[in-house]
Structure 1
Amino acid sequence: MQRRTSMPLRLVLSAAIAAVIGAGAAQAETIKIGVTPGPHAQVLEVVKPIAAKKGLDIQIIEFSDYVIPNTALDAGEIQANSFQHQPYLDNQKKDRGFKIESVGATLNFPLGIYSKKHKSFADVPAGGTVAIQNDPTNGGRSLLLLQANGIIKVKPEAGLKPSVADIIDNPKKLKIIEVEAAQAPRSLDDVDAASINTNYATQAGLTLNDAILKEDAKGPYVNVIAVRSVDKDKPWVKTLLASYHTPEVKAFVQEKFKGAVLPSW
């Protein structure tokens, strides 16, 4: 009887290793996450290799404003975004009907009011000009910051989103103008003071220590990761959050931003 020749052991092992590698590759999933430039993008660069080890490939897509990331997410052009706080997301859903929702906390960006002309807000003259963001949530947040410092008063019933029309007391007769959030740093040359979100302040070379007024770090404006409602229970969402909420990411935020950006987990 002819003896059957068995496959060499090294070939058996090579085939087994290739099968394992192939299975791992098949399990990997790619998602696109929309962010604004600055801290959100920088933090996700740290999250990315952590997620890769868990089989999730993250592609970071940068947007220059606060509107398109939600529009792109709702349309399915990206799978998640990381750029906004909960009140802003709630307002966008109400106004635009987006079927998206938050699935986890990320960062807190205490808001600051900055000036190139004055060392304190007390130096802003009567009739001076103050720029705030033109979206209801961040603009309202800026007005509440001014109110918290005794500069203006707004209607109590306006809640977290007062508008310029809700100002009921303005002793210094300040001229409050609205600009796109991304353009606020550029307005500093033309106004007495401007409210600037931290990510745009960072891009402009400003830190919270430069602000002449700044928000309390504790508040309702914690930023979130948002996904489409139909995706919220998918396994990759859990993997993404587990990769983000790690000691390595928290340590990076604390070291990189020195208190101007705070981890919220």
Structure 2
Amino acid sequence: MRNTAKITTAVLAVGALTLGLSACGSDSGSEDKSASPGGTLVVAASAVPHAQILDFVKDNLAADADLKLEVKEFTDYVTPNTATQSGEVGANFFQHKPYLDDFNKKNKTTIAPVVTVHLEPLGLYSNKVKKLTDLKDGATVALPNDTTNEARALKLLDQNGLIKLKAGAGNDATPKDIAENPKKIQFKELEAAQVPRSLDDVDAAVINGNYAVEAKLSPKDDSLVLEAAEGNPYGNFLAVKEGNEKDPQVVKLVKLLNSPEVKKFIQDEYDGSVIPAF
């Protein structure tokens, strides 16, 4: 039903390298789709729920707002930013602020958030135990391996008493920052999209909300523990290359993404697994 462009894993691997190089150099020679008054706004997005939300906008709201929108799905957390930086796409929708801050710092990119849309609560899941207290000594727990989401996962475990992080452990915490590990938990660090597939091979896994939904897991019903929404800094937003925040098509999309219609769609479609942040 969705009219989106699928990107294969093989293409992504080559594209991430090529775009990553161009992101640190000149943007000349590439078609800059981030500044296209009156043209089509191309937005890079992860499939669930980001592309689904954008498709709802495209199919139901865009025409009345005179917005021309194209959605490109990506399965990784790197290429959407490098493609936005190079002008290959005009915007992206997949990430939160701690991740973007870390990405910009490491890659010398200039991506900026323009509007926060929703929160995907991070949760701990298991196919082997029903309660957190049932995890045995020496259990293996899978974590997303990108900097901010790994720290976020460890904070979730800390807040629920499974481990204790060192004082001052921040948004770049790793298992090396664990001060106390009474159950002697072993950690398996995996690319975030791969973590749900590890559930049968580990005792538990901390899974990003979008990948949990994509794997047919309900954060509200299936998680052993779940992040609290109140005061959570991990809201997901639409982002553009700095300087393109006022592009007319971007401005139109910003308004639609924070509309009552999108709020209702998120609430009805995801039943608490994805939470509107506006």
- Aligned pairs for 1:7-156 (under 5 A) are 28-48=38-58, 49-156=60-167
Q: CA deviation at 1:243?
A: 1.3
Secondary structure at the counterpart of residue 104 of structure 2: helix
Task: For 1:163 and 1:75, locate their aligned partners in 2 and report how far apart those are by CA, in whole Å.
Answer: 31
The two structures, once aligned, show a CA RMSD in angstroms of 1.1
Residue 254 of structure 1 is matched in structure 2 by: 267
Task: For 1:227 and 1:204, locate their aligned partners in 2 and report how far apart those are by CA, in whole Å.
Answer: 28
Secondary structure at the counterpart of residue 198 of structure 2: helix
Q: CA deviation at 1:235?
A: 2.0
Residue 6 of structure 1 is matched in structure 2 by: none
Task: For 1:50 and 1:205, locate their aligned partners in 2 and report how far apart those are by CA, in whole Å.
Answer: 27
- 4+ residue runs over 4 A deviation: none
- Aligned pairs for 1:200-239 (under 5 A) are 200-208=211-219, 209-218=221-230, 219-239=232-252
1:45-75 CA-to-partner distances (Å, cap 9, x unmatched) read 1111412322221100000111111111111
Name the CA shift for 1:53/1:29 in 2 (closer, same or farther; >3 Å).
farther
1:109-139 CA-to-partner distances (Å, cap 9, x unmatched) read 1111100000011111000000000001001
How many residues get paired?
A: 239
Under a length normalisation based on structure 2, what TM-score does the superposition of the two structures give? 0.84
Task: For 1:51 and 1:227, locate their aligned partners in 2 and report how far apart those are by CA, in whole Å.
Answer: 19
| 1:195 aligned onto 2:206 | yes
Secondary structure at the counterpart of residue 199 of structure 2: helix
Task: For 1:237 and 1:31, locate their aligned partners in 2 and report how far apart those are by CA, in whole Å.
Answer: 7
Task: For 1:172 and 1:210, locate their aligned partners in 2 and report how far apart those are by CA, in whole Å.
Answer: 23
Unaligned runs of 5+ in 2: 1-36
Counterpart code for 1:251: K
Counterpart code for 1:119: K
Contact 2:94 2:237 survives alignment (8 Å): yes
Q: 2:195 aligns with which of 184, 189, 193?
A: 184
Unaligned runs of 5+ in 1: 1-26
Identity of aligned residues (%): 46
Task: For 2:269 and 2:246, locate their aligned partners in 1 and report how far apart those are by CA, in whole Å.
Answer: 32
1:84-118 CA-to-partner distances (Å, cap 9, x unmatched) read 01111111011111111001101101111100000
Secondary structure at the counterpart of residue 187 of structure 2: strand
Under a length normalisation based on structure 1, what TM-score does the superposition of the two structures give? 0.88
Secondary structure at the counterpart of residue 225 of structure 1: strand
Counterpart code for 1:215: E
1:237-259 CA-to-partner distances (Å, cap 9, x unmatched) read 21111111111111010011111
Task: For 1:204 and 1:138, locate their aligned partners in 2 and report how far apart those are by CA, in whole Å.
Answer: 18
Residue 172 of structure 2 is matched in structure 1 by: 161
Q: CA deviation at 1:163?
A: 1.0
Task: For 1:29 and 1:148, locate their aligned partners in 2 and report how far apart those are by CA, in whole Å.
Answer: 47
